Amino acid sequence: MATKAMNIRMTQTKQSLINAFFQLVSKKDFEKITVADITKGAHVNRATFYAHFHDKYELLDYIMGDSASAAIVKRTNGAEKFDQDSIVQLVLAVCDFYEQPNIQCRSSYIGFVVPQLKEKIINELKAYLSKSLDNSYADTEKNLYVPIYAQVIHEGAFQWTSGNVITSKEEVAKRVSLLLMNGQ
90 in Cβ contact with 149 (< 8 Å): no
Is the pLDDT confidence value at 111 over 70? Answer: no
**pTM recorded for the entire structure:** 0.77
At what angle are helices 56-76 and 84-99 packed, to 10 degrees?
140
- The whole-angstrom separation of Cα 49 and Cα 112 is 23
Nearest to 57 by CA among 25, 29, 30: 30
Helices (H), the chain: 2-25, 35-42, 46-52, 56-76, 84-99, 110-132, 139-161, 169-182
pLDDT tens for 46-102 read 999 999 999 998 998 888 888 889 899 999 998 899 999 999 999 999 999 888 755
- Positive or negative, the CA dihedral 111, 112, 115, 121 is negative
Q: Quick: pLDDT tens for 11-39.
A: 788 889 988 988 888 788 888 899 999 99
